[in-house]
Amino acid sequence: MKLLKFTLPCFILSLVLILMFAGPTWAQDGAALFKSKCVACHGADGAGKAAMKGTNLLSPEAKKLSDAELEDAILKGGKTKKATHVFEKRGITADQAKTLVAHIRDLQKK
């Protein structure tokens, strides 16, 4: 019984520390997520790759889109329902889409 009184708090403390400092593996920053999901078509700088018919995310048209419109384009294909862009079916969450939009906005500032 004494061992349980000592072991259980240690286990709980260890779990809390792991979650605080290591963080969940799915919580990627926007740059890493962009690199893994978007660079192939949009390029590392977001200017788009002509060979892949990637949209230029630095264009005036892309800059005019609201954050909600960009999120919709990432998750559901946007207004045109672009099938290659339905990333919600490929495991991208709404929070990750927001992270991607924030990274795209950073690229647009450069």
Judged by DSSP in three states, 13 sits in helix
- Residue by residue, pLDDT tens for the chain (110 residues) are 565 565 655 556 565 545 455 444 444 688 999 999 888 889 999 998 877 777 899 999 999 999 999 999 999 888 877 777 788 888 889 999 999 999 999 999 88
How far is 13 from 8, CA to CA, in rounded Å? 9
**pLDDT given at position 5:** 63
Where in the chain are the domains? 28-109
Q: Write down the CATH number for the domain with range 28-109.
A: 1.10.760.10
Tokens of 40: 């192939």
**pLDDT given at position 45:** 92
Q: Sign of the CA dihedral 81, 87, 93, 94? A: negative
Q: What is the pTM of this model?
A: 0.70
Please report where in the chains the tokens 């992270």 appear, as a residue: 99
Residue 89's alpha-carbon distances to 32, 37, 83, 94, in angstroms, are 19, 13, 10, 11
Residue 96 near residue 34 (C-beta atoms within 8 A) = no
